[in-house]
Structure 1
Amino acid sequence: MNLVVVGTPGDRRPGLFAEACRSAGLPGPRLVPWTDVLRGVPLPFRAGDLVRVDSPGEDRAADALLRGPGEPARVGGGARWYATFTAALRRLSGEATAAGARLLCDIGDIAVMFDKRLSQARLSAAGVPVPAVLPDIDGYAALRSRMDETGERRVFVKPAHGSSASGVVALQTAPGRVRAVTSAFMAGDRLLNALRVRSYGSEQEVGALIGLLAPDGLHVERWLPKAALGGRVFDLRVVVVGGEPTHAVVRTSRTPMTNLHLGGARGDLGAVRRALGEDGWRRALDVCARAAACFPGSPMVGVDLLVGAGMKRFAVCEVNAFGDLLPGLTGFPGGPAEGLDTYAAQVRSYAAQAESCAARVRSLACAT
């Protein structure tokens, strides 16, 4: 296999993937920097290349090309980021096809996964359980009005094109009270990402916060109470490779945000499985597999699964095109990725696909 990775030099993902390739006896993949793609540099694809598209990462130059110049820690610019990113995906696809290379992913799937409104609608249409949505929210006044109409008192407000919980707000209201929990820090008329979750408790502050997020588009969904173990709420990031759930990490927190970079901690997967029971665990993985099946052109999907209080209900809150950065985590015992990390599991899946394609070509040649 001639593998190419579109990624960011210095980012952990291409390095971990290259290590997995070498461990499988394959040559390390060639790296095409995202900055070259975004600047319109001719891409060095060759006939027969298999092209893996990875995250642009936290690269200042790539971020400036995607969102425009500015502080990388700022919240916002998601609409411009999305437009630039999806245009770059189309260019990637066109140049790969022209060179006789093949993308290992479907760019349409990636585009949908990076729009929370589109991905939630696709999941819901397929019968995958998701939180109820409050649609067409364009600001704080509309949000409060819709919450009153529907009787909702707890919602998550998310930038439509955000990631890593950037700009996500957990909002609770009661007569005469409001509380917003977020990692976004208001600095005058700007929002900055922080590594500490904070809360805002006045209508003026919360209105200003939502007002700063709204221009890039909002996705608002019902806040479903999460299950808890050991006094900490949790959810699951489940990696699905080749249509089958292979890896999972428990993300725990004492705040509504379970993201590990915001103070969340990895929990005990064995304890979660015991609490769910074997039937509950099978149902949880089935929901994740059904979610991934909504993106059939994606060889890997990271599914964020909410486990409801009481351990009986599940809902998919997000799907991730680049949700495989779980260093040191190996596959489920007895499963197809036992002993393999997320990247090694994908390399093996790619190799199986390549052999299957080669076998079909041989079969057609023999038939003629």
Structure 2
Amino acid sequence: MSPAPPLVVVGNPEGRRVRLFRDAALAAGLPRPRVVPWLDVLRGGARLYAGELVRLDSPGEEPEVDRLLRDAPEPTRVEGTGRWYARFTAAVRGLAVEARAAGAVLLGDPEELAVLFDKRLGHARLRAAGVPVPPAPTSGAAAPPVTGWADVRALTEGPGMRRVFVKLAHGSSASGVLALETTAAGRVRATTSVELRADGRLHNSLRVRRYTTEREVAAVVDALAPDGLHVERWLPKATLGGRAADLRVVVVDGRATHAVVRTSRSPMTNLHLGGARGDLGAARAAIRAAGGRFEEALEICERAAAAFPGTRCVGVDLLPGSGWRRFAVGEVNAFGDLLPGLGGLPGSGAEGLDTYGAQIAALLRTLGLFGTPGPTPSDTAPASPALPTGTSTP
């Protein structure tokens, strides 16, 4: 067996993601990956070398990196995601140039990453690919921008739009998300993790709260709007054990390898906001009872991932409708693989591997190094992309 090319991970050296990826590489018998800190990238000090395979990981969970990307004086501040997006995508494009010049291979497409981190563009990409998604009047580059509360108020008067999600176009982890309900009588209620301080500034909170006056909701939306907003219909979710439920499905090289059920008493199922992992077996049973097949739900996720063929791993947020009969894709996440301790799905080829182990195994298979098991693409999944030396896109 020929040796694998040296691996590099661009990430935060002390972060969980880098540690889990490093552990997966070592467990597969690979040399310890070299770490290029995001701080070095943003300060112009990153260097790549010929023959390296370069993985991009999330710049999150590092306050100084966040400060450089957003200019936010406090890490809990919500504002600044538009600035974050511009600087992050510029940094990734710069890494692509560095990779080409050095003869390294960037394991990801910078232009796809830019789409994945803009909910308006990502939604339009999925819709064009025939993937079921919630109706969204802000989808696509040609949609008129949402400049503030007046625009959101007008959008909620459209057919079927009395209940919507208002999301930061470049947000993540439910930051800046409002589950907004309006009535024919003009009343409004927003459920969100955004804390509106007395000085008008917005902070992320671990406590989900409700705003019930139009003045409060308008103040939050107006403060978020300069960073860009995406508005989509709030689809009624299925329930499991009396709690709202959805699924995060990880797709590696075109194959769904891991899935976790997320449940919550609030509209946001994110685990850090009080959500909890649900029983996947119970969810599969609910799908069968409704006359469906869990495999069909996974196929929707694989179709969503196929809309981003240059991105080797994504996390797909799958929204089961009430009754577990229909599914829509809420988002596709470029860094949606942080699910510690989660084993691979039966029959996925990733049994016994966590999400990082599955990615390492798939990469080795692509390179023709079959010393470790990995996901085998299904008949309907796209083939694993080749890795030509000296290019930035696989």
Q: Report the equivalent of 1:101.
A: 104
Q: Does 1:267 align with 2:274?
A: no
C-alpha distance in structure 1 between counterparts of 2:292 and 2:265, whole Å = 27
Q: Report the equivalent of 1:243.
A: 254
Q: Does 1:149 align with 2:158?
A: yes
Q: Report the equivalent of 1:129.
A: 132
CA, structure 1 residues 360+261, in 2 after alignment: closer, same or farther (shift >3 Å)?
Answer: closer
Deviation (angstroms), 1:69: 4.1
Do the aligned residues in 1 keep the contact of 2:256 with 2:301 (CA within 8 Å)? yes
Deviation (angstroms), 1:228: 0.2
C-alpha distance in structure 2 between counterparts of 1:265 and 1:288, whole Å = 21
Do the aligned residues in 1 keep the contact of 2:292 with 2:325 (CA within 8 Å)? no
Cα deviations by residue, 1:18-52 (Å, 9 ceiling, x for unpaired): 000010000110000001101111x2311110000
Cα deviations by residue, 1:114-139 (Å, 9 ceiling, x for unpaired): 00000000000010000000223221
Identity of aligned pairs, percent? 62
Cα deviations by residue, 1:310-356 (Å, 9 ceiling, x for unpaired): 11111111110000000000101232101100000000111111228
Q: Report the equivalent of 1:7.
A: 11
Q: Report the equivalent of 2:333.
A: 320
1:24 is aligned with what amino acid? Answer: A
C-alpha distance in structure 2 between counterparts of 1:76 and 1:275, whole Å = 40
1:324 is aligned with what amino acid? Answer: D
Deviation (angstroms), 1:282: 1.5
Secondary structure of 1:237's aligned partner: strand
Q: Report the equivalent of 2:40.
A: 36
**Structure 2 spans left out of the alignment, 5+ residues:** 139-143, 370-383, 389-394
Q: Which moved more, 1:231-240 or 1:331-340?
A: 331-340
CA, structure 1 residues 224+151, in 2 after alignment: closer, same or farther (shift >3 Å)?
Answer: closer
TM-score (norm 2): 0.89
Instruction: Decide which of 279, 295, 304 is 1:291's aligned counterpart.
Output: 304
Q: Report the equivalent of 1:161.
A: 170
Instruction: Decide which of 195, 210, 213 is 1:199's aligned counterpart.
Output: 210
Deviation (angstroms), 1:176: 3.8
2:49 is aligned with what amino acid? Answer: R
**Structure 1 spans left out of the alignment, 5+ residues:** 362-368
CA, structure 1 residues 360+206, in 2 after alignment: closer, same or farther (shift >3 Å)?
Answer: closer
RMSD over aligned CA atoms reads 1.5
Deviation (angstroms), 1:236: 0.3
Do the aligned residues in 2 keep the contact of 1:8 with 1:33 (CA within 8 Å)? yes
Do the aligned residues in 2 keep the contact of 1:134 with 1:221 (CA within 8 Å)? yes
C-alpha distance in structure 2 between counterparts of 1:69 and 1:294, whole Å = 33
C-alpha distance in structure 2 between counterparts of 1:171 and 1:81, whole Å = 25
CA, structure 1 residues 227+360, in 2 after alignment: closer, same or farther (shift >3 Å)?
Answer: closer
Deviation (angstroms), 1:149: 3.4
Cα deviations by residue, 1:52-71 (Å, 9 ceiling, x for unpaired): 00000211110111011410
Q: Report the equivalent of 2:365.
A: 352
Instruction: Decide which of 31, 53, 56 is 1:27's aligned counterpart.
Output: 31
C-alpha distance in structure 2 between counterparts of 1:149 and 1:285, whole Å = 32
Cα deviations by residue, 1:227-258 (Å, 9 ceiling, x for unpaired): 00110010000000010000001000000000
Do the aligned residues in 2 keep the contact of 1:280 with 1:312 (CA within 8 Å)? no
Secondary structure of 2:171's aligned partner: coil
The structure with higher relative contact order (CA 8 Å, sep 6+) is 2
Q: Report the equivalent of 1:216.
A: 227
Do the aligned residues in 2 keep the contact of 1:56 with 1:62 (CA within 8 Å)? yes
C-alpha distance in structure 2 between counterparts of 1:208 and 1:69, whole Å = 19
Do the aligned residues in 1 keep the contact of 2:22 with 2:33 (CA within 8 Å)? yes
TM-score (norm 1): 0.95
C-alpha distance in structure 1 between counterparts of 2:158 and 2:114, whole Å = 32
1:125 is aligned with what amino acid? Answer: A
Q: Report the equivalent of 1:366.
A: none
Q: Report the equivalent of 1:364.
A: none
Do the aligned residues in 1 keep the contact of 2:105 with 2:387 (CA within 8 Å)? no
Aligned length: 359
Higher helix fraction: Structure 1 or Structure 2?
A: 1
Secondary structure of 2:31's aligned partner: coil
C-alpha distance in structure 2 between counterparts of 1:2 and 1:303, whole Å = 29
C-alpha distance in structure 1 between counterparts of 2:6 and 2:162, whole Å = 53
Q: Report the equivalent of 1:87.
A: 90
Q: Does 1:139 align with 2:143?
A: no
1:205 is aligned with what amino acid? Answer: E
C-alpha distance in structure 1 between counterparts of 2:317 and 2:7, whole Å = 28
Instruction: Decide which of 225, 229, 232 is 2:240's aligned counterpart.
Output: 229
Q: Report the equivalent of 1:112.
A: 115
C-alpha distance in structure 1 between counterparts of 2:160 and 2:354, whole Å = 44
